[in-house]
Amino acid sequence: MAQINLLPWREERRAERKKEFLILLAAVAVLGAGLVLLGDRIVNGQIDYQEARNQYLKENIRVLDKQVAEIKDLQRRRNQLIERMRVIQELQGNRPIIVRVLDQLVRTVPDGVFYTNLSSKDNLISLIGIAESNNRVSSLMRRLDGSDWLQQPNLESVRAATQYGDQAATFNLKVKVQLPASDEGAGE
């Protein structure tokens, strides 16, 4: 039998396999590094894209906040205008009432009674005046109570005022303004 020495062939084959393994190992390392770089770029791209979206949203939120502030300002101004219109309408609606009340105050004054001060708050009129006698003050109160527009006269004080005459008196009374039943329904 012939002797064949396979050692050089085995060493050559081993060296060739080692070379292929190292080439394959280098290729896998390069491919792995490439995949890592590619993955890093993809993730960084997604982060940049999300940051761009967040910045876009922040800018739009700022714009919308300004618009909301403008809307609130417009609503506040609208409410102020509505309130002004309501006050003006009330004043225009109450204008004839004021004239009627003043007319009733003039019609109910008996001879010998003079008003020195008249003030009004809500539906209450305060009258300060001078009367020739206490009987004239009583007559004034009866007339005020009998009026369609004035109700519940309330005498707060009567003081002697001798500088105006022997029986003269100053008085202070309050009376409520009450709309007649027929005018209340027409005004609504």
> Model confidence over 97-109: pLDDT tens digits?
778 888 888 888 8
Does some domain include residue 141?
yes
Query: Residue 76: which pLDDT band, with cuts at 50, 70 and 90?
Result: very high
In a domain, 25, yes or no: no
- Look up the domain containing 116 and give its range: 88-187
Residue 179 domain-assigned? Answer: yes
Asked if residue 108 is part of any domain, the answer here is: yes
**Whether 168 contacts 174, CB under 8 Å:** no
pLDDT of residue 115: 87
Provide CB contacts within 8 A for 99, sequence distance 6+: none
Quote the CA–CA distance of 137 and 153 in Å, as a whole number.
Answer: 11
Q: Is residue 52 part of a domain?
A: no
In a domain, 9, yes or no: no
Average pLDDT along the chain:
86
> What are the pLDDT digits (tens) for 58-73?
999 999 999 999 999 9
Residue appearing with tokens 């209340």: 184
In 3D space, the residue among 105, 114, 117, 116 whose CA is nearest the CA of residue 176 turns out to be 105
- Please give the tally of structural domains in the chain: 1
Q: Token pair for residue 6?
A: 């396979």
Say what the pLDDT of residue 6 is: 66
Q: Residue 177 sits in a domain of what CATH number?
A: 3.30.1360.100
Structural domain includes residue 165: yes
Does residue 169 sit within a domain?
yes
The average pLDDT across 120-131 equals 85
**Across 34-48, 72-86, 173-187, least confident range:** 173-187
